Amino acid sequence: MAPRITIIGAGSAVFSLSLIRDLCLTPNLSGSTVVFMDIDPDRLDVVYNLCRRYATEVGTQLYLESSTDRRQALQGADFVVNTALAAGHHRLREGWDKARKLGYRLGGSLHVMHDEAFWINFYQIRLFEEVLQDIMELCPDAWYLQVANPVLAGITYLSRKYPQVQMVGLCHGFSGVYHLADVLKLDRDKLTFQVPGVNHHVWLTHIYHNGQDVFPLLEDWIAQEAPAYWENCGWSDDLGPKAIDLYRRFGVFPIGDTCTPGGGSWPWWYHTSEEVERCWREDPAGWWQRYFQWGESKVRQMAQLAADPNARLIDHFPPKASGEVMVPMMESLYFDVPKVLIGNVPNTHEFVPGLPRDIAVEVPLLASRRGLEPVHTDGLPGPVIDHILRDRVAPVNMELAAYEHGSLELLRQLVLMDPWTRSEEQAAKLVEEILSLPGHEAMREHYR
């Protein structure tokens, strides 16, 4: 029997089509039932019809359903994939506008000038908990796959409060290691590597190609080819001068979103002014502008494809694996096809030494019918652990304490941890102005 897969927040056509494409390319999962759930009926209808057309074009048998009722969609689920964004990008940017006027900058500002801003995370964590409570009632044996941000705060909070639920956080940021391999002209299929850390803060500690250490090749590339690469790549590139400087500083390589705008442009000292940013070929503001424009263009593309029943979807989305982890993990867990995949789970047995046991860490996982068995990593250099503790673990603990206790004072303390906060008055003003924005009635009630 094939599994029943429920996607919460399925109104993102790009995400849902990507997942359907991976299902179509996985013979074991042929015959699966996929339930698309979203509160926006118009977007849901577009996604449902596009995915149905795609599966037909590829010739894979999938049973597709759609619902605006979350509890109905969860009935009998074997896997629940949560990709929902409870507060849209317009709310994020409204808050950023307020923060900029108060002196906050993009660059190391992980809970203000980032897409995991505290006023976005509030709605996300509340939604995560509501979904998990429904799962415990309606499909208690299901696996909960959290794809939506914030993965670090979300899995940390949920695993502390609901340890009985089978859950994992998934993010494709680690796949930046494949970008590095492509630049070094290495075959991805012949790589082995270790990239431990916490979500959006992971570091390449070991990498081999055909059993040979890749770091000497990386050193040669930095010395001989990197300057030419920088002339042609975009700013805020994950292999840019900033990444190389961090590698020189710590001896391990920042991967994926670790130092790019997607992970908050950590650390702050490369972003103290526009002049400093130019020295490092950094432009987080431009990066985010391009990101939002890309998203808007994809929405238009999907609308056009949905309106044209004669359009061949496989011409626009060729049947090629996306590289995302969700479908391979479902195949491993349901059909006992062992694979080592990267995911976020509690650090219960010090899979990343030096980090707290109740914090979610991103590590290799052996996935099979037995479940997910985290791999003990060799850890990270002491200075990297110290930065993670200060810049990732401590603020997440403060944020979750503020959320759990509904404490306005702890929320202010979270903002005081931001590298661009210069006074208590500045932090208090930001919190007050965010809470006063239209659409934040629930958050105002929660914290007052």
The reported pLDDT for the residue numbered 14 is: 87
Sequence-separated (6 or more) residues with CB below 8 Å from residue 269: 108
CB 329 within 8 Å of CB 367? yes
Q: Would the pLDDT of 448 be above 90?
A: no
The reported pLDDT for the residue numbered 282 is: 98
Q: What is the DSSP letter of 28?
A: G
- pLDDT category of residue 58 using cuts at 50, 70 and 90: very high
Give me the mean pLDDT over the 332-339 stretch: 98
CB 70 within 8 Å of CB 132? no
CB 374 within 8 Å of CB 399? no
Give me the mean pLDDT over the 60-85 stretch: 97
Give me the mean pLDDT over the 342-348 stretch: 98
Distance CA 345, CA 365 (A): 9
- pLDDT category of residue 12 using cuts at 50, 70 and 90: confident
Tell me: do 364 and 277 sit in the same domain: no
237 found inside a domain: yes
- pTM confidence score: 0.97
Tell me: do 188 and 219 sit in the same domain: yes
Tell me: do 11 and 154 sit in the same domain: yes
Q: What percent of the chain has pLDDT over 90?
A: 97
Residue 40's CB is within 10 A of a number of other CB atoms, namely 13
Tell me: do 59 and 199 sit in the same domain: no
Instruction: Please identify, among 286, 302, 330, the residue that sits at the C-terminal boundary of a domain.
Output: 286
Q: Would the pLDDT of 203 be above 90?
A: yes
Distance CA 329, CA 144 (A): 11
Tell me: do 49 and 131 sit in the same domain: yes
pLDDT, tens only, 174-183: 999 999 999 9
Any idea which residues carry the catalytic annotation? 172, 257
Tell me: do 322 and 370 sit in the same domain: yes
Backbone angles phi, psi at 419, to 5 degrees: -65, -15
Tokens at 175, concatenated: 């796949």
The reported pLDDT for the residue numbered 380 is: 98
Tell me: do 349 and 404 sit in the same domain: no
Tell me: do 138 and 238 sit in the same domain: no
Tokens at 5, concatenated: 């897969």
Tell me: do 213 and 355 sit in the same domain: no
Tracing tokens 């339930």 back to the chain, one arrives at: 35
CB 415 within 8 Å of CB 430? yes
CA count, 13 A, side-chain hemisphere, 227: 2
Distance CA 343, CA 357 (A): 16
297 found inside a domain: no
Q: Would the pLDDT of 121 be above 90?
A: yes
Q: Binding site: residue ranges?
A: 93, 149, 171, 200
Give me the mean pLDDT over the 353-370 stretch: 98
Residue 223's CB is within 10 A of a number of other CB atoms, namely 9
Tell me: do 159 and 27 sit in the same domain: yes
301 found inside a domain: no
Q: Would the pLDDT of 11 be above 90?
A: no
Indicate the burial class of 338 (C-beta count within 10 angstroms; 0-12, 13-18, 19 or more). exposed
Number of independent structural domains in the chain = 3
CATH number, domain at 148?
3.90.1820.10
310 found inside a domain: no
Q: What is the DSSP letter of 257?
A: G
The reported pLDDT for the residue numbered 105 is: 97
Domain that holds residue 323: 4-88+111-172+315-374
Q: Which residues of 250-277 are buried (b: 16+ CB within 10 A; e: fewer)?
A: bebbbbbbbbbbbbbbbbbebbeeeeeb
Distance CA 183, CA 23 (A): 29
CB 104 within 8 Å of CB 420? yes
Distance CA 32, CA 53 (A): 16
Q: Would the pLDDT of 13 be above 90?
A: no
Summary mean pLDDT of the chain:
97
CB 317 within 8 Å of CB 21? yes
Q: Binding site for substrate: residue ranges?
A: 93, 149
379 Rama class: left (phi>0) / alpha (psi -120 to 50) / beta: left
Q: Is the peptide bond before 338 cis (omega within 30 degrees of 0)?
A: no
Indicate the burial class of 39 (C-beta count within 10 angstroms; 0-12, 13-18, 19 or more). middle
* Pairing relationship of beta strands 206-209 and 212-213 according to DSSP bridges: antiparallel
Q: Is the peptide bond before 318 cis (omega within 30 degrees of 0)?
A: no
Q: Binding site for Mn(2+): residue ranges?
A: 171, 200
- pLDDT category of residue 337 using cuts at 50, 70 and 90: very high
pLDDT, tens only, 88-98: 899 999 999 99
336 found inside a domain: yes
Distance CA 126, CA 403 (A): 9
132 found inside a domain: yes
pLDDT, tens only, 233-290: 999 999 999 999 999 999 999 999 999 999 999 999 999 999 999 999 999 999 999 9
Tell me: do 159 and 273 sit in the same domain: no
Instruction: Please identify, among 374, 395, 412, the residue that sits at the C-terminal boundary of a domain.
Output: 374
Name residue 67's beta-bridge partners. 37
104 found inside a domain: no
The reported pLDDT for the residue numbered 67 is: 97
The reported pLDDT for the residue numbered 86 is: 93
Tell me: do 141 and 267 sit in the same domain: no
- pLDDT category of residue 194 using cuts at 50, 70 and 90: very high
Instruction: Please identify, among 286, 304, 333, the residue that sits at the C-terminal boundary of a domain.
Output: 286
CB 402 within 8 Å of CB 414? yes
126 found inside a domain: yes
